[in-house]
Amino acid sequence: MKIDNKGVELCQDILATRVAQMIAKRENITPTEAIRKLMESDTYGLLIDTESYLHYESAEYILYMYDTERLGDWERWLII
């Protein structure tokens, strides 16, 4: 089953919200601060790029990508 653009956008929004919640809880920051941090990342850029298909992955997987990016482990991040 193929999802339309609205469905993809909904998946992206839900995933971004979930990842931001996980970041906020872990780092003891506000959800607004967490979403700002996420949106400034290359991982978020991939999440909103519909051709990357990252919206088919889990929030945990995206958080792992975000963490790897923040650690500067670009080699691992690129093969994820």
H/E stretch holding 72 reads none
Structural domain of 47? 5-79
Largest interatomic CA distance in the chain: 39
pLDDT given at position 77:
72
CB atoms within 10 A of CB 24: 18
Span 18-76, pLDDT tens digits:
999 999 999 999 999 999 999 999 999 999 999 999 999 999 999 999 999 999 888 87
CA distance 55 to 14: 9
d(CA 54, CA 41): 14
Number of structural domains (the chain) is: 1
